[in-house]
Amino acid sequence: MDKGTLVGFIIGITLIIIAIMLGSGLGIFWSASSVLVVFGGTIAAACISSPMDDLQQITKITKNAFTTKATLPGQLMRDLKELVQLSKKTDKFNLPKLSSKFNIPFLHKGLQYLADGTKVEIIRRNLQSEIYNTQQRHKLGRDIFVQMSKSAPAFGMIGTLIGLVQMLSGLSDPASIGPKMAIALLTTFYGAVIANLVFIPIANKLKRRSECELFNLQVCYETIMHIYHGDPVLLLEDKFTSFISHQMKSTIFVDNSKPIQTIQATPKTA
């Protein structure tokens, strides 16, 4: 469970409730018609703008915002550097075993290609294609939440306009103007809350998760190609440092305060 996402939701909802309770009760902030317009309209717009196959993945996509925890790039780079060092002492047929400590199917697949003696052109094409497909898949899921973050405030405004029309049509009864105006404004309130507290934060969270995962895949790709060519480890460090800042470089390649788990290498066969 990603604590940051859960804590953020709890804090946001709690503060809104407290702000309401300080000035009035919660009862006046409930309107079934406003809920129907905002939530129903947002869902309807999502169904129209996105293929049904993508919408069926919405539960899994939302779960990723709460549960998925990507490997930190710094730790991954340190471990991959050690993997390269061990690969030089390991028979190529045993290379896939070196990925046992990594929960990264992409890395295992690449090492399996090396063990099978696959041509480098095929390795490069297949791995780059997988990185691209992963990027597109993440983008589709994120775009659904971006679209809903735009639809919710729009339908909130539509609900407000509906309420204003109903209010103006009943000007002959001055006592009803205040309640009808309050209900009309609630739809705007609902739309703004779910857009800024739910849809936009989840979209941003998914974007950050996607960037981190794609970065890790790119680092794994460079490691696989490095092992294939048999280049010195120093060249891999140079490649990694082209992706990161100078401060992060010192943390990854100089700071050894955190021990790295040892990977058992299988000696090369005679």
**CB neighbour list of residue 261: distance below 8 Å, 6 or more residues apart:** 79, 101
Neighbours of 255 (CB within 10 A): 10
The angle formed by the CA atoms of residues 206, 207 and 209, to the nearest 5 degrees, is 60
Could you report the per-residue pLDDT of 95-132, keeping only the tens digit for each?
Answer: 888 888 888 899 999 999 999 999 999 999 999 999 99
* Amino acid (1-letter code) at residue 55: L
Q: Which long-range contacts (CB under 8 A, 24 or more apart) does 2-11 make?
A: 2/65, 2/66, 2/67, 2/68, 2/69, 2/205, 5/65, 5/66, 5/201, 5/202, 5/205, 6/66, 8/201, 9/197, 9/198
Please report where in the chains the tokens 């204003």 appear, as a residue.
164
First-to-last C-alpha distance (Å) of the chain: 47
Crossing angle (nearest 10°) for helices 200-229 and 233-241: 150
Q: Nearest CA to 31 among 265, 190, 172, 177?
A: 190
Q: Give pLDDT tens digits along the chain (270 positions).
A: 567 788 888 999 999 999 988 888 888 888 888 899 999 999 999 889 888 877 777 777 777 766 766 667 778 888 888 888 888 888 888 888 888 888 889 999 999 999 999 999 999 999 999 999 989 888 888 888 999 999 999 999 999 998 888 888 877 777 777 778 888 889 999 999 999 999 999 999 888 888 888 988 999 999 999 999 888 888 887 777 777 654 444 444 444 434 333 334 444 443
Q: What pLDDT, in 10s, does the model give residues 30-46?
A: 888 889 999 999 999 98
